[in-house]
Every structure is written in structure tokens, then in C-alpha cells.
Amino acid sequence: MICRHCETPLRHVFLDLGFAPPSNAYLSEADLQRPETSYPLKLFVCDQCWLVQTQDFVAADALFTSDYAYFSSTSTSWLRHAEDYCAQVSKRLGLGCQSLVIEVASNDGYLLKNFLAAGIPCLGIEPTAATAAAAEALGIPVLREFFGDALGGRLAAEGRQADLLIGNNVYAHVPDINDFTRGLKAALKPGGTVTLEFPHLLQLMGRNQFDTVYHEHFSYLSLNAVQRIFETEGLRLWDVEELPTHGGSLRVYGVHSDDPRPAAGAVARVLAAEQAAGLLALPAYEAFQPRADRVKNDLLAYLVDQQRRGRRVAAYGAAAKGNTLLNYAGVRPDLLPFVCDAAPAKQGKYLPGSHIPIRAPRALYEDPPDEVLILPWNIADEIAAQLNDLAARGVRFVRAVPELGAL
């Protein structure tokens, strides 16, 4: 295997989580009677450009299918995050009724609806039919396609280059990151701005967030790696913000290489912080696997101990990160009989790999367990607040990452 960016042969394993099915490939009851495909879930790090990337085994169109079940609007905190961003960036860039905002991977319209309400023309690009239909129902125009150089060039030829081109939690999901970045440059108007949000590799490593590794994430990004990719494709970093979302993310601002706006000081600060943490040398990457193994072992010991003591554990949040954790640990319904989730599209289905049934949150109230394992730790406080009535009944909330403990 060679590096997706610089084509250097990949020789260094960063993390090996064994085999797992795609983390968002939820199963119907009928699916349980059919074979289920699993793929290696292994990450390599390139010792030249420091791009962390999955081993090549599964194509994007096998992951992001028409019934893809992730709807961004499920999380109220994420909706607030999107609303705050739209207000802030509109003011900073002076966007108005003559501007064009394009969002790549626009999902269910959770973000673009804010621009629509402000009278700012927008366009969504979303290949998964279920989420695209939800956005269109809000009045948002959507192109149901995968984004890349070809589509970016077509938009430019049609005179539809963006004043603001947004990609939230998509940059890590593209198998050909060079082609995607060329598409960004092509679709960006001269003087325009690209903003991309993605989980920060520095935080993943520092906070032991190995469960954010799944097949839908082809890349795990440091600012140093993004800077190299941008510069190769004719873009450069203008600014960067560190965000608390998804356990610690970056929002990068990109512009054309010849854009006159000077780079903000935050760019140099984050680049230096990554170097100080060892992200430009191999030892930090080689030390990560044992930390993931410890979480796996602690989770299994906890579930077995609760079962032996006659205490019932249920889970909350049928999220991708939970699927990574449960499949890596080999957890099955005998140890964790069900998981609850607020998304109707997931209810009545089963988690991939573990085959744990997904129920509506009311199941926790109809027959309260002794403990609730909250799998999406990034919104654990939000979930605990929603389930506050259970805490009053003596139900304890637990999370496994970055280490096992009660909330």
C-alpha cells in the first residue's frame, strides 16, 4: 500500500483493530440470516507527509449507500454548533444575497438551512438519498453526487463557484483526498474561502479516542498533513480554530495560493503544538496501540463483572464510535442486551458486527437497567442530561473512552 497523498510506501502500523463490518451498516432482522462482510480495520502512518490512513479494502460507494443512517439533525448540540458557525462566518466574510454557499456532504440540511433562512443562496452536495431528501424537503437544492475534481470543474464551468465552500466532517471520509482537494480549488471562487472541520489527530492521540477509527474515515488528519495537501493542490491555510466538537476538532480556513489575506497566527501555533507532541516522528504513533488495548480489556472486565453480580447494563447511542469499540472488544448481546438511540432510522435495527438490537429511548424507562453505557462520549453530558430522570431512579451512567469510569 502507498500513501494516498504522497505515494510513499506505507510501512508503519499506527493501530490495528482487527476485522469489523462498516460501522454504519445497520442490519434489519432479515439481514441477521445472511452473511455479513467484515474488513480489516488497520491504520498506517506515512513517515514522509504524516498522513494517517486506513488500509485499502472498501470503496466509498459501499459505505455511503442510499439508506445511510446518519442524520446530523439528531444531535441538538450539533445543530447549535452549525447555527453559531453560520452566523459567525457570514459576518466575517460579509456574505449576502449575492453570495453562493456550497456545502459538500450537506447531509439532511442541518447547516444550510441557516443560510437559507438568512436569504443567502446555497447548494448542497450529498450522495446519500435518504439525507438528501430530508434537505430537499427544507427547500435546499441538492446535487446527489460524490464530490471531487470532476464535479468541482463542472460547477466552475457552469459559473457556480462558491464564495464559501464548506466541508464539515467529510475531508476524512474521502478515499482520494488529492482529487477531493483539487475539486475544492476548482469550485472556489477567486477570493473565496473554504472551511473544513475534521477531528484533530492530535486530540485523538492525546485523549485515546481510538474508537473514532472506522472504515468511513479514510484519513486521520493533523494540520501539518492538511497543509501539505493544500499546498500541493494550489490552496493554502489562512486560519484555523480549535473546536470541542467530536472530542476535539479543527476548523481550517483555506484560500487560493495567491490570495492576499495573510495567514493568522493560529496556524503557526497549531503546527508547532503538533510538532511538540511528536506528530512529526514515529515514536508517538508506535506507542498508541497499547492504550487502545487497555480500554478494550477494561470494558470487557466491567461487563463480565456486572453480569456476575446480577446487574443489568444497557447502552445508549448507536453511533459509529460505539460500533468500533464493541466489535474490537467482541461484545455481543449476552453482555449488552440492547442499545437505545433517538434516531428513528436506527430503531428496530441491529448494530453491525455485534448484532445488538437498537431500541427507542423509552425502553430505558419501561424496564430501567442498573447501568447505562454511553457510547458517544463526545455528547455524553448532553445524553446524561436528557436521561436525568433515570439517574433519579438510581441508574448509573458510564463511559469507556478515554478510560472506563462513571459520569
- CA–CA gap between residue 369 and residue 390 (Å, rounded): 9
Does residue 303 belong to any structural domain of this protein? Answer: yes
Confidence of residue 77 (pLDDT cuts 50, 70, 90): confident
Q: Same structural domain for residues 117 and 49?
A: no
Q: Hey, what amino acid is at 43?
A: L
Q: Hey, what amino acid is at 155?
A: L
Residue pLDDT, tens place only, 321-377: 999 999 999 999 999 999 999 999 999 999 999 999 999 999 999 999 999 999 999
| Domains held by the chain: number | 3
Does residue 214 belong to any structural domain of this protein? Answer: yes
Q: Same structural domain for residues 272 and 295?
A: no
Does residue 86 belong to any structural domain of this protein? Answer: yes
Q: Which of 218, 252, 286 is the last residue of a domain?
A: 286
Q: Hey, what amino acid is at 120?
A: I
Q: Same structural domain for residues 269 and 297?
A: no
Does residue 3 belong to any structural domain of this protein? Answer: no
| 120 Cβ contact partners less than 8 Å away, ≥ 6 residues apart | 90, 95, 96, 97, 99, 101
* Region of residue 305 (phi > 0: left; psi between -120 and 50: alpha; otherwise: beta): alpha
**Quick one: cell of 272?**
508547532
Residue pLDDT, tens place only, 112-140: 999 999 999 999 999 989 899 999 999 99
Contact 221, 249 (CB under 8 A): no
HEC states along 151-214? HHHHHHHCCCCEEEEEEECCHHHCCCHHHHHHHHHHHEEEEEEEEEEEEEHHHHHHCCCHHHCC
- CA–CA gap between residue 301 and residue 205 (Å, rounded): 24
| CATH number of the domain within which 398 lies | 3.40.50.720
Q: Same structural domain for residues 314 and 222?
A: no
Q: What does pTM read for this prediction? A: 0.88
Distance of CA 11 to the CA centre of its chain: 26
pLDDT value at position 56? 73
Q: Same structural domain for residues 76 and 221?
A: yes
**Terminal Cα-to-Cα distance of the chain (whole angstroms):** 41
Q: Which of 39, 38, 43 is nearest to 16 (CA)?
A: 43
Does residue 1 belong to any structural domain of this protein? Answer: no
Q: Same structural domain for residues 277 and 135?
A: yes
| 302 Cβ contact partners less than 8 Å away, ≥ 6 residues apart | 398, 400, 404
Q: Same structural domain for residues 108 and 248?
A: yes
Does residue 304 belong to any structural domain of this protein? Answer: yes
Q: Same structural domain for residues 249 and 313?
A: no
Does residue 63 belong to any structural domain of this protein? Answer: no
Residues spanned by the domain of 25: 12-56
| CATH number of the domain within which 180 lies | 3.40.50.150
Q: Same structural domain for residues 98 and 223?
A: yes
Q: Same structural domain for residues 109 and 249?
A: yes
* Region of residue 278 (phi > 0: left; psi between -120 and 50: alpha; otherwise: beta): left
Q: Same structural domain for residues 233 and 140?
A: yes
Q: Same structural domain for residues 89 and 189?
A: yes
pLDDT value at position 57? 62
Q: Which of 228, 252, 286 is the last residue of a domain?
A: 286
Contact 176, 170 (CB under 8 A): no
Q: Which of 251, 286, 321 is the last residue of a domain?
A: 286
Does residue 2 belong to any structural domain of this protein? Answer: no
Residue pLDDT, tens place only, 245-289: 888 999 999 999 999 999 999 999 999 999 999 999 999 999 999
